[in-house]
Amino acid sequence: MSLVTLLPFIVLIGAMFLMTRSAKKKQQQAASMRNDMQPGSGVRTIGGMYATVKEVNEDTVLLDAAPGVDLLFAKNAIGAVLTDDEYNRIVHGIEHDLKSDSDVVPDDASSLTETDESADEAAAASDEKSVDLGKKDTAEEPADDAPAEAAEAKSDDEPKKTDGDSDAK
């Protein structure tokens, strides 16, 4: 046999060796994580349930899922042992902020804008007429808008075009 025909088999055996080696390493890490569990630790089961470890036996773990609810699980049903901060964040919604002494940023921009009193004072101080960009009342509109109103009434009489309509016939 030539080396060219043996090369694919050698590569395949090498790849299988590397895959089994990494899987074995992951299994050993999971087993050591499960053996290092202590009562009071927060865990996530492989089913996605979060609980606190109450008691650890050789092959089983007693979990406290809720007040008065104790569940017995096999050790290999524990998917992850969580840190206290991570468990509190997920289960209780408590965020542990490392920068608790820093300024708090509000959720909205209301604190970044001026209040009504400070805006009035700023306008009075600048002696400039403030521009109202809001909609004016109809009583305040001048009467010389009659040609615009006539054009608006004319456009209301014509049928409105939709996306599919066109002037071409």
Phi-psi region of 40 (alpha: psi -120 to 50; beta: other; left: phi over 0): left
Sheet arrangement for strand 78-82: 69-74, 60-66, 50-56, 42-45, 78-82
Instruction: Kindly list the domain boundaries of the chain, sorted by start residue.
Output: 8-92
pTM of the model: 0.46
Q: Which pLDDT tens digit goes with each residue over 39-71?
A: 998 999 999 999 999 999 988 999 998 889 999
Token duo for residue 18:
């590397």
The tens digit of pLDDT for each residue in 94-151 reads: 776 555 555 566 667 666 665 556 555 655 555 556 667 777 665 555 555 555 555 5
Fold of 8-92: SH3 type barrels. (2.30.30)
